[in-house]
Structure 1
Amino acid sequence: MSEILAKIQEAGHIVLISHVSPDADSLGSASAMYTFLLQGQKKVSWYCKSSEIDQKLSFLPWFEKIKSTFPLSADLAIAFDCADKKRLGVEIECELINIDHHITNTNYGDLNLVEPHFISTTALLYDLFKKNGVKINKKMATAIYAGLLDDSDAFLSQEVDGTTFAMVSELIGHGADFKLCNKKIAKSVSLAALRLKSVMYKSMLLEESARVSVFCISREDMAMTGAVAQDCEAPLEESLNLHHVEVALLLREQRDSGIKCSLRSNSAVDVGKIAAAFGGGGHFSRAGFEIYEKVSLDEAKVKILDLIKKEL
């Protein structure tokens, strides 16, 4: 951890990277670090390849600073919550620090801080700050809380324990606007997301004696509803509340080509293992991967279900 701070002190221009299709954990981590670097009067930029970023997360400090062009003058880059180098969306020529909590992280950085026992990357970053005597202000606390809230499924996931709530208490003590985070992340929903949810539930399949819920979303579904990728997440996770369902599978055609696959589990099945078989990664209960070969949604579904059957 001290090595990371030393690298930061030596750098002239630092670029913070949120992964493709970023969630609150990746954005929250970068937001908190952005504030820290500004306090140290560092030149800092924030990069994300995705042009469509969930606007319900626009309340995060410095969100408006995110750019889709990687600055050539950077001499240090820091990636947050990205298990695989491909999800950075850019080839990094400068020195790279990799900060993440995914057990499937490939340690692609020149310096890696990967701790899978942390519930979120923001939690790991908070630990880094605390152990090095960094003062946490309101903006940093809000950004860290946002990532913690999102990755813990609003504190409902199996990984939540007393340590999680102790951290929440500390963050609120540092001024975290937890009410705003709760409203925007746990409650806020767009009209497009509601339209997509209707489409997803209408076409949902229950496989393996209703132990697996399956959603197949076409490009036309996304275009018709006006939804973005993140809008698929809520119905996927909600389906795990159905009686008997142990695994939820989402297959979504991407705008250009390929299929994005997301897996969720109620902790009965290691979906991270399934994702790894397809070159992806994640956690025991949350994982994902991409299929680049030319296959239909139905063909992809059959392949993945075969592996899920074995795990069940």
Structure 2
Amino acid sequence: MLSLEQINDADHIVISLPSDADDALIASANALYSFILTQHKKVSFYSECEDSKKNLSFLPWMDKLKNSYPSSADMDIKLESSKDVFSFFKSNEIKLNSKMATSLYASLIARTKGFLNNVNGITFALAYELVEAGADVDSCNRYILNYNSLASLRLKAILLKKMVLSDSGETALINLEDSDLKCSGSTLKDAKIVVKDALSLPTVNRVIVKYKNKEIFNEGDLV
């Protein structure tokens, strides 16, 4: 658990992200980075992930995210869940500035897929609080929900054309090949772009993407 007392006692704090950190976790880490700066502490931002996350470039402090671990830190905050960061802000009644609010709002819409998954009244109340605190909603919506690269769009067209339905139309199957990646200029991670569109079909409730006979995505109920 994040501890305000430990942050107050530390001189140099590192916020560490795992190699598989998703957009929600990275965005919430930005909010925490902003808060620690307001406490006049030295803070470093470290990630094992080498993905540049261009869709998150609008967030504050993304240029501070490094792959080299600082040697002088006396506190390491290893973040594993964006919910832990939200709980930290809430339990300590921390007053949000616009940078914190924007980062937390970005994390919220990334985690809920644009308020489509796992939402309730508390979720919308939190969103309202973040907007009132100065969250840049337009940028969050544009870069979290609607950001795509040209390469990913090219791959999307290829994979949708190759998609076949099975299990009476309930499962969408897509086989990804090296030639698909090469001609589109995309990466394996870009293949996930087809999931939402495939799940929008009336009978489909699961999408399976295979690469070299192994499942790289097996997802359902995202929309």
Q: TM-score, normalised by structure 2?
A: 0.88
Matched with 2:96 is 136
Matched with 1:265 is 220
Distance change >3 Å, CA 69–CA 192, structure 1 → 2: same
Matched with 1:237 is 196
Question: Mapping of 1:203-218 within 5 angstroms?
Answer: 203-218=162-177
Q: Which amino acid aligns with 1:134?
A: I
Indicate yes or no: 2:158 matched with 1:199.
Answer: yes
Question: Mapping of 1:94-105 within 5 angstroms?
Answer: 100=81
Q: Could you tell which deviates more after superposition, 65-74 or 12-21? A: 12-21
Indicate yes or no: 2:65 matched with 1:66.
Answer: yes
The whole-number CA distance in structure 2 between the counterparts of 1:213 and 1:79 is: 37
The whole-number CA distance in structure 1 between the counterparts of 2:27 and 2:173 is: 30
Native 8 Å contact 1:21 1:230 kept in 2: no
Distance change >3 Å, CA 10–CA 163, structure 1 → 2: same
Count of equivalent residues: 223
Deviations 1:29-71 (A, max 9, x none): 1100110111112221112222222312100110111111222
Matched with 2:112 is 152
Corresponding residue to 2:125 among 134, 141, 166: 166
Distance change >3 Å, CA 175–CA 242, structure 1 → 2: same
Native 8 Å contact 1:213 1:248 kept in 2: yes
Corresponding residue to 1:225 among 166, 179, 184: 184
Native 8 Å contact 1:54 1:228 kept in 2: no
Distance change >3 Å, CA 6–CA 148, structure 1 → 2: same
User: How many angstroms does 1:220 deviate by?
Assistant: 4.3
Q: Which amino acid aligns with 2:100?
A: M
User: How many angstroms does 1:77 deviate by?
Assistant: 2.2
Distance change >3 Å, CA 203–CA 176, structure 1 → 2: same
The whole-number CA distance in structure 2 between the counterparts of 1:219 and 1:76 is: 43
Distance change >3 Å, CA 179–CA 200, structure 1 → 2: same
Distance change >3 Å, CA 252–CA 75, structure 1 → 2: farther
Distance change >3 Å, CA 141–CA 246, structure 1 → 2: same
User: How many angstroms does 1:219 deviate by?
Assistant: 4.3
The whole-number CA distance in structure 2 between the counterparts of 1:135 and 1:11 is: 21
Where in structure 1 are there 5+ consecutive unaligned residues? 83-99, 101-120, 267-284, 287-312
Question: Mapping of 1:1-312 within 5 angstroms?
Answer: 4-80=3-79, 82=80, 100=81, 121=82, 123-157=83-117, 159-252=118-211, 261-266=216-221
Q: Could you tell which deviates more after superposition, 65-74 or 216-225? A: 216-225
Between 1 and 2, higher relative CO (CA 8 Å, sep ≥ 6) is seen in 2
Deviations 1:5-29 (A, max 9, x none): 2222233322212332543201111
- SS for the counterpart of 1:206 is strand
Distance change >3 Å, CA 251–CA 29, structure 1 → 2: farther
- SS for the counterpart of 1:61 is coil
Native 8 Å contact 1:21 1:53 kept in 2: no
The whole-number CA distance in structure 1 between the counterparts of 2:173 and 2:61 is: 37
Native 8 Å contact 2:29 2:85 kept in 1: no
- SS for the counterpart of 1:251 is strand
The whole-number CA distance in structure 2 between the counterparts of 1:222 and 1:13 is: 42
The whole-number CA distance in structure 2 between the counterparts of 1:246 and 1:177 is: 33
Deviations 1:191-234 (A, max 9, x none): 11101111221222323222112233344433432324543333
